[in-house]
Amino acid sequence: MFAKVEISGMIETVTGLHIGGSSAFSAIGAVDSPVIKDARTNRPMIPGSSLKGKMRSLLAKKYNEGYVASIPDDDTECLTRLFGSAKKGHVRVGKILFTDMFIENVDELKRAGVVGQTEIKFENSITRTTAVANPRQIERVVRGAKFPMQLIYEVTSEEEMLQDFKILKDGFQLLQYDYLGGSGSRGYGRIKIFDLELCVVIGDVSDDVLDECQEILNGERE
């Protein structure tokens, strides 16, 4: 069989989020570490690659039981089946397609009194032996920013679909108890994921399987 299912939802920042952009051509006095932004609107975005990479690395910790894979291509079979592999002799096309996400609730943030979609956090690292401070400025997406999420899952087997959606549920849950972007140990990057919904966009999937997959995703928030 062949079908495609859209997984839509929302990512909301719970704490300031920093996914770095380029500062190679920053002017003097500019922020040391800016966030990545959409080139057309200059507003914050979350690259699909950041979401995919973080989710896969967290799932690898859970599913690669008994060993640490040095590269993603050495992940356990259920993960390479879902995310793909470029390993020689075992090339597999991933079943899940991630897309870039762009901030949606700019007007809502303005009504709440938030001046911009990002904030500048001043930090200092202290050299222990000399007590010399090294200040830096880090740009973060403000908490409460919302990013519509869209993933496309390719269905080749309804039985495998149920297995894959249990893995995806774990991925969403793990993300909410970890962090996205950088500096998570310092409180950055906490997110929540909600309003997950499924819709068949190409082909046919039985209503029973689709409903069960929806229940699987909803189960992470019970």
Q: In the numeric block, which tokens belong to residue 181?
A: 């972007």
> What pLDDT was estimated at residue 220?
45
Residue type, 2: F
pTM for the model? 0.86
The H or E element spanning position 106 is helix 106-111
pLDDT at 70 over 80: no
d(CA 179, CA 183): 9
**pLDDT-based confidence at residue 28 (cuts at 50, 70, 90):** very low
d(CA 95, CA 203): 15
Return the residue matching tokens 């062949």.
2
Query: What is the average pLDDT value for the chain, to the nearest integer?
Result: 89
Task: Give the total residue count for the chain.
Answer: 222
pLDDT digits (tens, 9 = 90+) for 90-127: 888 899 999 999 999 999 999 999 989 999 988 777 77
pLDDT digits (tens, 9 = 90+) for 186-217: 899 999 999 999 999 999 999 999 999 999 99
Please give the share of the chain, as a percent, with pLDDT higher than 70. 92
d(CA 64, CA 59): 8
Q: Is there a contact between 147 and 102 (Cβ–Cβ < 8 Å)?
A: yes
> What pLDDT was estimated at residue 23?
53
d(CA 79, CA 60): 8
Other Cβ atoms within 10 Å of 181 Cβ, number: 22
User: What residue spans define the domains of the chain?
Assistant: 3-217
